[in-house]
């Protein structure tokens, strides 16, 4: 009830679903070279003094949330030089085509499923670097946003491996932007809180003060929130957020499978269940979700009119001070 489903597509198809099924495989058995024929050659980089990858180094790099166009130029530079790319489940395999010279190793982990152990991944990076490889550790979004990039980087440093960090566009910002939701909007929020929906034990994070978050942050962006959304919504409502608070779930953004669902805090659990939504999804709670009614640029590009050019009911031009 109450779900408005507006799916939009962008980018090219991926086989993310297949990769998600393959998480049980160990690092070594998943190690493989992609077939070299028929690949798009890596696009040329603009002239610039790009950093050179040296043997024995590991670069931890964000791949952005999906659309390869959201890679940074530093990421493209790294992909062209790497001997080995170790990538996560959230990295679109299409991006690997930009590193046809490299060995591609899948190290996916999906919440709640058997997976490559974090420590094994980190130690594998150490091993590859010590073998003199130029190692690119590629992670979805930004490596330091709920990506355990800090832990991997720390392990590398502890083992004396030189590192470089390449930030990426996090799903909680870029995915929302593709859905037409500004993560901050002057009329709505002066703060935003990014939270994870589960902790190391797989439960709703006990260390989070949901009461403070609810009261202190007009907009809350939840990563990995699908599994515990009922408890999270209850905690926010108990802390005073309205049952009618707008919420958006942005699933698999921005890829061909992207979909955006709009609902409210009071009905989110039923709506997610009814729609059969599956991770990965970013959940955005707050009035900024309403801005999608005027900023859903993908629908507009497809010929639709904005649903409401003044969704916050300000009754004045947007730029009025």
Which active-site residues does the annotation give? 88, 109, 224
Smallest gap from residue 4 Cβ to ligand SAH (A): 18
Q: With binding defined as CB under 6 A, does residue 250 bind ligand SAH?
A: yes
Q: Read off the DSSP letter of residue 306.
A: P
Out of 68, 140, 180, 286, which residue is the one contacting ligand SAH (CB under 6 A)?
Answer: 140
Interaxial angle between packed helices 149-158 and 118-130, expressed in degrees from 0 to 180 and rounded to the nearest 10:
40
The answer to whether 23 and 109 are in contact (CB under 8 A) is yes
Q: With binding defined as CB under 6 A, does residue 60 bind ligand SAH?
A: no
Out of 224, 247, 277, 291, which residue is the one contacting ligand SAH (CB under 6 A)?
Answer: 224
Which tokens in the block code for residue 227? 């599994």
- Residue nearer to ligand SAH on the CB measure, 100 or 246: 246
- Rg of the chain (C-alpha set): 20
The answer to whether 286 and 218 are in contact (CB under 8 A) is yes
Dihedral sign for Cα atoms in the order 273, 277, 280, 284:
negative
Q: Give the span between the Cα atoms of 143 and 140, in whole angstroms.
A: 7
Smallest gap from residue 279 Cβ to ligand SAH (A): 5
Q: With binding defined as CB under 6 A, does residue 210 bind ligand SAH?
A: no
The span of 143-151, 180-188, 203-211, 310-318 binding ligand SAH (CB under 6 A) equals: 143-151
Q: With binding defined as CB under 6 A, does residue 167 bind ligand SAH?
A: no
> Site size for ligand SAH, by CB under 6 A?
23
The answer to whether 136 and 59 are in contact (CB under 8 A) is yes
Smallest gap from residue 315 Cβ to ligand SAH (A): 34
Smallest gap from residue 68 Cβ to ligand SAH (A): 12
- Residue nearer to ligand SAH on the CB measure, 100 or 204: 204
Q: With binding defined as CB under 6 A, does residue 89 bind ligand SAH?
A: no
Q: How big is the chain, counted in residues?
A: 321
Interaxial angle between packed helices 268-275 and 229-238, expressed in degrees from 0 to 180 and rounded to the nearest 10:
160
Out of 253, 260, 285, 291, which residue is the one contacting ligand SAH (CB under 6 A)?
Answer: 253
Beta bridge partners of residue 249, listed in sequence order: 261, 283
The span of 99-107, 114-122, 124-132, 250-258 binding ligand SAH (CB under 6 A) equals: 250-258
The answer to whether 176 and 186 are in contact (CB under 8 A) is no
Instruction: Measure the CA angle with vertex 153, ends 149 and 156; round to 5°.
Output: 145
Report the interface residues with ligand SAH, using CB under 6 A. 65-66, 90, 139-142, 145-147, 170-171, 175, 223-224, 250-253, 279-282
């Amino acid at each position: 009830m109450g779900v408005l489903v507006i799916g939009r597509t962008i980018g090219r198809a991926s086989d993310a679903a297949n990769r998600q099924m393959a998480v049980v495989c160990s690092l070594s058995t998943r190690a493989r070279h992609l077939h070299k024929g028929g690949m798009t050659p890596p696009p040329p980089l603009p002239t610039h003094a790009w950093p050179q990858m040296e043997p024995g180094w590991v670069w931890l790099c964000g791949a952005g949330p999906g659309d390869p166009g959201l890679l940074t130029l530093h990421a493209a530079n790294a992909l062209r030089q790497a001997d080995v790319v170790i990538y996560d489940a959230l990295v679109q395999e299409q991006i690997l085509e930009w590193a046809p010279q490299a060995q591609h190793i899948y190290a996916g982990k999906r919440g709640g499923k058997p997976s490559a152990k974090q420590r094994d991944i980190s130690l594998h990076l150490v091993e590859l670097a010590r073998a003199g490889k130029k190692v690119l550790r590629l992670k979805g979004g930004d490596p330091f946003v709920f990506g355990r990039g800090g832990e991997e980087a720390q392990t590398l440093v502890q083992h004396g491996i030189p590192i470089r960090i390449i930030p990426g566009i996090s799903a909680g910002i870029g995915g929302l932007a593709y859905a037409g939701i500004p993560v901050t909007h002057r009329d709505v929020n002066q703060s935003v809180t990014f939270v994870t929906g589960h902790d190391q034990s797989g439960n709703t994070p006990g260390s989070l003060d949901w009461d403070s978050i609810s009261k202190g942050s007009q907009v809350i962006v939840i990563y990995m929130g699908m599994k515990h959304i009922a408890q999270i919504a209850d905690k926010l409502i108990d802390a005073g957020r309205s049952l009618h608070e707008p919420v958006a779930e942005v699933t698999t953004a921005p890829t061909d499978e992207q979909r955006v669902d709009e609902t409210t805090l009071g009905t989110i659990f039923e709506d997610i269940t009814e729609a059969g939504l599956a991770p990965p999804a970013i959940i955005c709670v707050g009035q900024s979700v309403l801005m999608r009614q005027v900023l859903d640029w993908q629908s507009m590009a497809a010929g639709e009119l904005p649903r409401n050019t003044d969704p916050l009911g300000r009754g004045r031009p947007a730029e009025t001070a």
